Amino acid sequence: MRNRRRFLGAVTGLLIAVPLTPAAHAAPSPAVPSAGAAGLPGMPQTAQRSLPLPWGDNVTVDRVGYVGSTGTVALAGSYRCLGDGVSIPRADILVTLTQGQERRGIGGGSALCDGLTHRWSVEEPSAGRFVPGPAYVESSLLRLEVHQQLVPLPRTAAVGERAITLEAREM
Protein backbone atom coordinates (compact mmCIF):
# COMPACT_ATOMS: atom_id res chain seq x y z
CA MET A 1 0.00 0.00 0.00
CA ARG A 2 2.85 2.36 0.83
CA ASN A 3 4.52 1.71 -2.56
CA ARG A 4 1.27 2.45 -4.37
CA ARG A 5 0.99 5.81 -2.57
CA ARG A 6 4.61 6.63 -3.41
CA PHE A 7 4.01 5.75 -7.06
CA LEU A 8 0.85 7.87 -7.26
CA GLY A 9 2.63 10.74 -5.54
CA ALA A 10 5.52 10.56 -8.01
CA VAL A 11 3.18 10.48 -11.01
CA THR A 12 1.17 13.39 -9.63
CA GLY A 13 4.39 15.36 -9.10
CA LEU A 14 5.47 14.70 -12.70
CA LEU A 15 2.11 15.78 -14.07
CA ILE A 16 2.18 18.98 -12.04
CA ALA A 17 5.73 19.73 -13.19
CA VAL A 18 4.86 19.53 -16.92
CA PRO A 19 5.07 23.05 -18.40
CA LEU A 20 1.88 24.54 -19.81
CA THR A 21 3.59 26.02 -22.85
CA PRO A 22 4.25 23.64 -25.74
CA ALA A 23 7.79 22.60 -26.55
CA ALA A 24 9.57 24.39 -29.39
CA HIS A 25 9.06 21.44 -31.72
CA ALA A 26 5.40 20.80 -30.87
CA ALA A 27 2.48 22.21 -32.81
CA PRO A 28 0.13 24.46 -30.85
CA SER A 29 -3.17 22.90 -29.88
CA PRO A 30 -6.35 24.50 -31.20
CA ALA A 31 -8.04 26.81 -28.72
CA VAL A 32 -11.74 26.77 -27.98
CA PRO A 33 -13.27 30.16 -27.14
CA SER A 34 -15.49 28.80 -24.33
CA ALA A 35 -14.46 29.14 -20.70
CA GLY A 36 -14.55 25.39 -20.19
CA ALA A 37 -15.65 23.44 -17.15
CA ALA A 38 -12.73 24.50 -14.98
CA GLY A 39 -12.91 28.17 -16.02
CA LEU A 40 -9.37 28.83 -14.75
CA PRO A 41 -7.89 32.04 -16.13
CA GLY A 42 -4.70 31.58 -18.15
CA MET A 43 -5.30 27.88 -18.74
CA PRO A 44 -5.52 26.82 -22.40
CA GLN A 45 -8.90 25.42 -23.38
CA THR A 46 -8.77 22.53 -25.86
CA ALA A 47 -11.42 20.82 -27.92
CA GLN A 48 -13.12 17.66 -26.63
CA ARG A 49 -10.82 15.16 -28.33
CA SER A 50 -7.84 13.15 -27.26
CA LEU A 51 -4.64 15.08 -27.75
CA PRO A 52 -1.42 13.31 -28.72
CA LEU A 53 1.38 13.22 -26.22
CA PRO A 54 3.71 16.19 -26.77
CA TRP A 55 6.90 14.17 -26.46
CA GLY A 56 6.37 11.34 -28.94
CA ASP A 57 5.51 10.31 -32.46
CA ASN A 58 1.84 10.31 -33.44
CA VAL A 59 -0.46 9.86 -36.41
CA THR A 60 -4.12 10.86 -36.74
CA VAL A 61 -6.94 10.27 -39.24
CA ASP A 62 -9.53 12.85 -40.34
CA ARG A 63 -13.17 12.09 -39.46
CA VAL A 64 -14.32 12.25 -43.10
CA GLY A 65 -12.94 10.41 -46.13
CA TYR A 66 -14.18 10.48 -49.71
CA VAL A 67 -15.19 7.81 -52.20
CA GLY A 68 -15.87 8.36 -55.91
CA SER A 69 -18.35 6.54 -58.15
CA THR A 70 -15.45 4.65 -59.78
CA GLY A 71 -14.19 3.34 -56.40
CA THR A 72 -11.47 5.94 -55.85
CA VAL A 73 -10.89 6.53 -52.13
CA ALA A 74 -9.22 9.62 -50.61
CA LEU A 75 -8.19 9.78 -46.95
CA ALA A 76 -6.15 12.31 -44.97
CA GLY A 77 -4.79 13.06 -41.52
CA SER A 78 -1.75 14.44 -39.74
CA TYR A 79 1.45 13.10 -38.22
CA ARG A 80 4.38 14.15 -36.10
CA CYS A 81 7.62 12.22 -36.15
CA LEU A 82 10.50 13.20 -33.90
CA GLY A 83 13.98 13.13 -35.34
CA ASP A 84 15.93 13.49 -32.09
CA GLY A 85 18.93 11.18 -32.07
CA VAL A 86 17.81 8.81 -34.83
CA SER A 87 20.06 7.81 -37.68
CA ILE A 88 17.27 7.76 -40.30
CA PRO A 89 15.09 10.92 -40.17
CA ARG A 90 12.39 9.40 -42.42
CA ALA A 91 9.34 7.22 -41.81
CA ASP A 92 6.44 5.76 -43.76
CA ILE A 93 2.71 6.08 -43.22
CA LEU A 94 0.63 2.99 -43.97
CA VAL A 95 -3.18 3.23 -44.22
CA THR A 96 -5.81 0.45 -44.08
CA LEU A 97 -9.52 1.02 -44.73
CA THR A 98 -12.26 -1.36 -43.52
CA GLN A 99 -15.96 -1.23 -44.41
CA GLY A 100 -18.14 -4.27 -43.75
CA GLN A 101 -16.31 -7.33 -45.12
CA GLU A 102 -14.07 -5.19 -47.36
CA ARG A 103 -10.61 -4.52 -45.90
CA ARG A 104 -7.91 -3.01 -48.06
CA GLY A 105 -4.50 -1.40 -47.67
CA ILE A 106 -5.05 1.99 -49.27
CA GLY A 107 -1.40 2.92 -49.47
CA GLY A 108 0.56 5.56 -47.68
CA GLY A 109 3.53 7.79 -48.18
CA SER A 110 6.79 8.96 -46.73
CA ALA A 111 7.03 11.12 -43.61
CA LEU A 112 9.71 13.58 -42.57
CA CYS A 113 10.88 13.23 -38.96
CA ASP A 114 11.57 16.83 -37.98
CA GLY A 115 9.36 17.12 -34.90
CA LEU A 116 6.74 19.29 -36.64
CA THR A 117 3.13 18.38 -37.37
CA HIS A 118 2.52 17.65 -41.06
CA ARG A 119 -0.51 16.61 -43.13
CA TRP A 120 -0.67 13.32 -45.02
CA SER A 121 -3.14 12.29 -47.70
CA VAL A 122 -3.61 9.25 -49.88
CA GLU A 123 -5.79 8.67 -52.93
CA GLU A 124 -6.20 5.15 -54.26
CA PRO A 125 -7.91 4.80 -57.67
CA SER A 126 -8.78 1.09 -57.45
CA ALA A 127 -9.34 0.71 -53.73
CA GLY A 128 -12.16 -1.82 -53.87
CA ARG A 129 -15.91 -1.84 -53.39
CA PHE A 130 -16.23 0.97 -50.86
CA VAL A 131 -19.45 3.02 -50.71
CA PRO A 132 -20.50 6.17 -48.85
CA GLY A 133 -21.21 5.47 -45.19
CA PRO A 134 -19.41 4.46 -42.00
CA ALA A 135 -15.94 2.92 -42.22
CA TYR A 136 -12.88 2.33 -40.07
CA VAL A 137 -9.32 3.51 -40.78
CA GLU A 138 -6.04 2.38 -39.27
CA SER A 139 -2.91 4.41 -39.95
CA SER A 140 0.58 3.50 -38.80
CA LEU A 141 3.80 5.46 -38.65
CA LEU A 142 6.57 3.00 -39.49
CA ARG A 143 10.20 3.93 -38.76
CA LEU A 144 13.41 2.23 -39.75
CA GLU A 145 15.94 1.95 -36.95
CA VAL A 146 19.57 0.95 -36.96
CA HIS A 147 21.03 -0.37 -33.70
CA GLN A 148 23.48 -3.26 -33.60
CA GLN A 149 22.37 -4.90 -36.85
CA LEU A 150 23.58 -4.09 -40.34
CA VAL A 151 20.14 -3.77 -41.89
CA PRO A 152 17.61 -1.17 -40.67
CA LEU A 153 14.61 -2.87 -39.04
CA PRO A 154 11.05 -1.48 -39.17
CA ARG A 155 9.33 -0.38 -35.97
CA THR A 156 5.80 0.89 -35.55
CA ALA A 157 6.25 4.27 -33.88
CA ALA A 158 2.58 5.32 -33.70
CA VAL A 159 -0.86 4.03 -34.63
CA GLY A 160 -3.99 6.07 -35.34
CA GLU A 161 -7.39 4.38 -35.50
CA ARG A 162 -10.73 6.01 -36.10
CA ALA A 163 -14.27 5.30 -37.17
CA ILE A 164 -14.89 7.66 -40.08
CA THR A 165 -17.60 8.55 -42.58
CA LEU A 166 -16.98 8.07 -46.28
CA GLU A 167 -18.76 10.75 -48.31
CA ALA A 168 -19.48 10.64 -52.03
CA ARG A 169 -17.28 12.98 -54.09
CA GLU A 170 -16.16 12.85 -57.70
CA MET A 171 -12.38 12.75 -57.99
Query: At 163, which CATH number?
Result: 2.60.40
- Give pLDDT, residue 49: 45
Tell whether 125 is covered by a domain: yes
Give the CA distances from residue 166 to residues 70, 89, 158, in Å, rounded to whole numbers and listed in that order: 14, 33, 23
What pLDDT digit, counting tens, does each position of 15-36 carry? Answer: 454 444 344 444 444 443 334 4
Q: Is 65 exposed, middle or buried (0-12, 13-18, 19+ CB in 10 A)?
A: buried
What pLDDT digit, counting tens, does each position of 86-140 carry? Answer: 566 788 999 999 999 999 998 888 888 888 899 999 999 876 789 999 999 999 9
Q: 168 is in which domain, residue-wise?
A: 56-171
| Kind and range of the H or E run holding 11 | helix 2-17
What pLDDT digit, counting tens, does each position of 34-85 carry? Answer: 344 444 344 344 444 444 455 578 999 999 999 998 889 999 999 998 876 6
Strand, helix or coil at 128? coil
* 93, 141 contact by CB (below 8 A): yes
- Give pLDDT, residue 74: 94
- Give pLDDT, residue 60: 93
Tell whether 113 is covered by a domain: yes
Tell whether 120 is covered by a domain: yes
Tell whether 69 is covered by a domain: yes
- Give pLDDT, residue 9: 59
Strand, helix or coil at 3? helix
- Give pLDDT, residue 54: 53
Higher pLDDT, 164 or 7: 164
Tell whether 36 is covered by a domain: no
Mean pLDDT score of the chain, rounded to an integer? 74
How many domains are contained in the chain?
1
Tell whether 104 is covered by a domain: yes
Note the pTM of the prediction, 2 decimals.
0.63
